């Protein structure tokens, strides 16, 4: 499968390309490239739509984590709290995208982090968990 993104706006340029065969290891590489495309597209889209992470962070009390380079709210979240925060983002200009960003701050990512991805693949390729993608 061929995957290619070319996007440009002012000084912002994003070019990501790859061609992959239908083998387990190439499907994983393809997923990795797609995840990177999603991350770049999402970041730029939020910027273009004027979604301010600080505004969302103030709603739920998330703090900026320098190591992770994002706002994070640790600990277990009660449904009542989540409901209250959803009610507040519902009133913003871009409710769906703002709600997705809120949930990312709460630890609900829709794409695994690059670190998790790599650690998982490493663990699985060692064959210690009963599956070895590189041998299939």
Partner 1 sequence: MPVKFEAAGEKHETEDLVQGLGRVLEKAYPLIWKQLDGLIIRSELVREAAERLVPEPFDWKEDTEKAARAIAGISSPKITRMLEPRNDEEKEMMKALLTRIVLERIGMIK
Give the residues lining the site for partner 1 (CB under 8 A): 1-9, 24, 27-28, 30-31, 34-35, 37-38, 41-42, 44-45, 48-49, 76-80, 82-83, 86-87, 90, 95-96, 99-100, 103, 106-113, 116-117, 119-121, 123-124, 129-131, 133
The residue to which tokens 């009963």 are assigned: 130
Cβ pair 20, 71 in contact under 8 A: no
Residue nearer to partner 1 on the CB measure, 55 or 88: 88
C-alpha span between 84 and 102 (Å, rounded): 12
C-alpha span between 93 and 1 (Å, rounded): 37
Residue nearer to partner 1 on the CB measure, 20 or 71: 20
């Amino acid at each position: 499968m061929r995957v290619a993104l070319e996007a440009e706006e002012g000084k912002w340029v994003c070019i990501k390309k790859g061609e992959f065969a239908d083998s387990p290891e190439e499907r994983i590489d393809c997923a990795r490239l797609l995840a990177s495309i999603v991350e770049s597209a999402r970041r730029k889209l939020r910027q273009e739509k004027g979604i301010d992470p600080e505004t969302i962070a103030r709603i739920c009390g998330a703090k900026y984590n320098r190591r992770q380079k994002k706002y994070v709210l640790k600990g277990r979240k009660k449904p009542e709290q989540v409901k209250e925060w959803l009610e507040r983002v519902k009133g913003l200009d871009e409710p769906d995208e703002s709600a997705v960003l809120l949930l990312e701050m709460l630890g609900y990512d829709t794409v695994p982090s690059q670190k998790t991805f790599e650690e998982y693949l490493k663990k699985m390729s060692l064959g210690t968990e009963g599956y070895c993608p590189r041998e299939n």
